[in-house]
Chain A
Amino acid sequence: MRRVGIASSGLTKFTKKDSSMESLMISSIKPIFDNTKNLTQKDVDVVLTSTNANDKYLANIVSELSGISPKISHSVESLCNSGTNCIVSAFSYISSGLADVALVTGAEKTNSPGLVLDWDKSRGQYKHPIYWSSLFTSAHMRKYGTTMEDLAYVSAKNHRNSLDNPNSCFDHSYSFDEVMRSKNLTDNVRLLDCSMPCNGSASILLASEDIIRKFTENPVWIKGIGQKSISAGFTKNKDLASMQSTMFASSDAYSMSGNSPSDVDVAEVHDAFSICEIMALEDLKLVGPGRGADFVRDMYNTENKKINPRGGLIGTGHPLGATGIAQTIEMFQQVQGTAGKRQVEKARTALVHNMSAAATSSTVLILQS
């Protein structure tokens, strides 16, 4: 199996401004062609598109608009972890030898059809994501004594981190007190505990070890991949205070890269809601069971950016099909040492955690220089 690395990336600003799907995607592909040395359209074998939108033949449309005639082109959809699923597919094409260079692009619009999973009969009339997040929150509070203050530290920390992220859909931060006072959507989920749907796009260029140095002297390798789907329906996850799919996916990713959780220097975790960051820290084994809230509070108090340095989903916005790619780009830049004001010192091993639909499916990637 050939090594696969990340050579380059591009992002649009996340906004509430409407735009067409292909225009969003092209806008994050452009910086890759503008900024990658020696890259021409002829180098690209694979174009994969990640979105929850119902656009047809999108990978071919985007290829044509980019002047690329790829060998392989198609869309990948898996609700909120479409982006990392797309990266895993591109990785597989390259590592198997079917392709050398893959362009992965993801985008979403505010009115995405991926926000609610109508199919899930077990959710009854409670199909909006705030209900599962509220039930996760209840379960975590019951098991570990998590408080509304603990949740507010997640959101306040991530909003503060996003001040150094020029692509965030927010132009200002929200303080701990503002999160505490924000409107209750349920008894234990406030408006500022939620990530916001928005428009945005993220693109990433992957290449095989045989060719990647043509495009960059500073490649970042995808060393570990773990992916697991427990179900599509919310209620198959047995313990509502943890995310089974994340535990399986991270265990496989650590095993593939030969790392342990203590090796992780920096991570982007899928904070769709405040409770998700606390649970992810525990389920990725970055902290012990029930220790996630204390760890977040400590990061808030010490301005430690180890988790979600770009602001996560809460601080940046959540354009579903772009999110997993945007998370991976942040970790790519952290390992490259090009994250600017967001740079975490000595970030050599980075982890991406991206999940979908009440953590019924999770993807974990481990990146290294």
Chain B
Amino acid sequence: MNRFEQELKNDNFVCSECPKCQKLVWPPSEYCNNCFGSVTWRKVSRDATLLEYSCKNGEYFCVAEIEGQIRLVGKITNPSDLEMGQNLTLERCGYEDGEKFIFKIKKQALE
């Protein structure tokens, strides 16, 4: 299990970042995909934006964007009046037979 997966298992969403290019390297990698320099690792913001969604058997899944650089497909736990651009929180992440990302609509967006 690599660093990304290990951290994910502990509900920490970390990503590689290139200090020279000042950008997140996604998907996570040992080297920057721009300059091939060594990366550092940091926790990524849990704030996300809803870009698209659909639904299977009553369970909503979406594409969400984090820090304007990382796009993920994850579950939405409290879907209601979903709108594109809505603010989400990465409520939980995990790793069991693969990655899991679980988003929640931010409360203020529901008011």
Contact = CB atoms under 8 A, between A and B. Distances in A.
B9 to A, nearest CB: 13
A329 B53 CA distance: 37
Interface string B51-86: 111111000010100000011111100000000100
A138 B63 CA distance: 11
A235 B54 contact: no
A240 interface: yes
A257 B80 CA distance: 50
A125 interface: yes
A127 B54 contact: no
Given A131-B73, A233-B27, A187 B63 contact: no
A286 B75 CA distance: 36
A88 interface: no
Interface stretch (A115-123, A155-163, A293-301, A348-356): A115-123
Is chain B's binding surface mostly helix, strand, loop or mixed? strand
Given A135-B73, A240-B63, A122 B56 contact: no
Contacts of B26: 122
Nearest to B58: A187
Contacts of A260: none
Contacts of B55: 186-187
A122 B27 contact: yes
Given A121-B28, A123-B73, A235 B99 contact: no
Is chain A's binding surface mostly helix, strand, loop or mixed? helix
Contacts of B27: 120-122, 233
B54 A187 contact: yes
B4 interface: yes
Contacts of A122: 26-27, 70-73
A121 B71 CA distance: 10
Interface in A109-145: 118, 120-127, 130-132, 134-135, 137-139, 142
B74 to A, nearest CB: 5
A137 B53 CA distance: 10
A341 to B, nearest CB: 38
Interface string B40-55: 0000000000011111
A185 interface: yes
B63 A235 contact: yes
Nearest to A136: B52
B81 to A, nearest CB: 15
A240 B99 CA distance: 22
A125 B56 CA distance: 13
Contacts of B56: 130-131, 134, 185-187
A124 B99 contact: yes
Given A134-B56, A185-B56, A187-B56, A125 B63 contact: no
A131 B61 contact: yes
Nearest to B101: A124
A2 B46 CA distance: 55
B100 interface: yes
Contacts of A229: none
Contacts of A188: 54
Interface centre among A132, A134, A137, A235 (most CB of B within 10 A): A235
A125 B98 contact: yes
Given A122-B73, A142-B84, A240-B63, A127 B52 contact: no
Nearest to A189: B54
Given A122-B27, A125-B101, A142-B52, 18 more contacts: A120-B27, A121-B4, A122-B70, A122-B71, A123-B73, A124-B100, A125-B98, A126-B74, A132-B73, A134-B54, A134-B61, A135-B73, A139-B52, A186-B54, A186-B56, A235-B63, A240-B51, A240-B63
8 contacts: A121-B99, A122-B70, A131-B73, A135-B61, A138-B53, A185-B56, A188-B54, A235-B71
Closest 8 CB pairs between A and B? A235-B71, A134-B54, A186-B56, A187-B55, A124-B101, A126-B73, A138-B54, A123-B73
